[in-house]
């Protein structure tokens, strides 16, 4: 019996990073990669050609193997359905685990387009989901899968020595590794004395923001560690349902970089932040500024020490290793 995991090629943004990071962690557990190329959501091909392509992709799968599908593949939903069905078509005794990274339509506020994805998820014996909120949501919308495994936190593995030590100095600033023009809270950040550092090629007209150009993943974490301060997770109200049930890669990046975290109330990771004292759950930008302004050096260093302890786990891929091993175990038990 072998364990396989799909890995997405041909895409460089966060989605591609998450998939290949997962493949690398899977390799440490003895998983084998099934490479998939991202042709994009608008690429259509005749059904017989699609089926033949997927048949070739899955040609190494043998009897009783476990295949972990990282979905979405960022191809068409038709492709993902054929991929899920193709495992059993290739070898009826093989087992399908679906690792849900995102619910595609929900990322864009299309709340009424879940049905076709439920049909895809129902091809699995085990679903890996971020938390119980997504599990209950899927079941309420027709998911018939009986076995669920939780993947609470995205890891961000790294061997960089400098990241192994907690931050030793409080700096009154916030970091956000994204384009502020896509996030209204960032573009309207209210404090000049407590600036928001962002990482994007696009400029902002807000004088309270400090621009840095995008960096590769490990370089980004090292720079964020050197700059210090806090990381922030924030989503607009209309996306709260999505982020209540989903997991942000920024969260794992902040942990691996050693930054205490300000998390917008209602986002899934707020429970972890509160329980393990990793930062502060906030409702408004002004509340975030007030918290930073009134936090003492000792209080900040205690948060940073707590983050570093959790960061030791994300820097070593602990959360995904745990989820993957449990998923394979649940296939047979």
**Largest interatomic CA distance in the chain:** 64
pLDDT tens digits along 108-138 = 777 788 999 999 999 999 999 999 999 999 9
Q: Is the pLDDT of residue 237 over 80?
A: no
pLDDT tens digits along 48-66 = 999 999 999 999 999 999 9
Sheet of 3-9: strand order equals: 32-37, 3-9, 66-71, 95-100, 126-129, 147-150
Q: What is the pTM of this model?
A: 0.94
Q: DSSP label at 23?
A: H
pLDDT tens digits along 238-276 = 787 888 999 999 999 999 999 999 999 999 999 999 999
What number is the average pLDDT over the span 148-166?
A: 96
* More confident of the two residues 110 and 160: 160
Among 164-178, 227-241, 301-315, whose mean pLDDT is lowest?
A: 227-241
- Predicted confidence at residue 164, as pLDDT, reads 94
pLDDT tens digits along 34-49 = 999 988 777 888 889 9
Cα separation, 80 vs 324, whole angstroms: 20
Q: Which residues pair with 328 in a beta bridge?
A: none
């Amino acid at each position: 019996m072998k364990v396989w995991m799909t890995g997405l090629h041909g895409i460089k943004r966060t989605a591609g990073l998450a998939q290949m990071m997962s493949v690398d962690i899977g390799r440490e557990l003895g998983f084998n990669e099934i490479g998939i190329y991202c042709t994009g959501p608008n690429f259509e091909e005749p059904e017989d050609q699609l089926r033949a392509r997927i048949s070739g992709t899955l040609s190494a799968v043998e009897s009783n193997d476990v295949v972990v599908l990282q979905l979405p593949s960022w191809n068409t939903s038709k492709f993902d359905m054929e991929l899920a069905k193709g495992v059993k078509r290739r070898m009826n005794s093989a087992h399908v685990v679906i690792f849900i990274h995102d619910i595609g339509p929900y990322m864009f506020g299309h709340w009424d387009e879940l049905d076709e994805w439920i049909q895809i998820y129902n091809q699995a014996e085990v679903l890996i989901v971020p938390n119980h909120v997504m599990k209950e949501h899927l079941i309420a919308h027709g998911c018939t899968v009986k076995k669920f495994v939780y993947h609470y936190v995205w890891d961000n593995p790294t061997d960089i020595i400098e990241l192994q030590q907690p931050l030793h100095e409080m700096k009154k600033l916030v970091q956000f590794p994204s384009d502020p023009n896509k996030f209204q809270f960032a573009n309207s950040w209210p404090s000049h004395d407590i600036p928001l550092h962002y990482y994007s090629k696009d400029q902002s007209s807000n004088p309270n923001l400090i621009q840095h150009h995008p960096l590769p993943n490990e370089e980004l974490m090292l720079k964020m560690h050197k700059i210090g301060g806090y990381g922030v997770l924030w989503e607009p109200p209309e996306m709260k349902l999505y982020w209540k049930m989903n997991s942000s890669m920024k969260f794992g990046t902040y942990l691996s970089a050693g930054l205490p975290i300000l998390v917008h109330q209602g986002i899934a990771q707020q429970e972890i932040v509160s329980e393990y004292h990793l930062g502060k759950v906030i409702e408004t930008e002004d509340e975030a500024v007030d918290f930073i302004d009134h936090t003492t050096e000792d209080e900040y260093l205690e948060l940073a020490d707590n983050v570093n302890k959790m960061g030791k786990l994300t820097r070593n891929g602990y959360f995904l290793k745990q989820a993957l091993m449990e998923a394979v175990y649940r296939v047979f038990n």
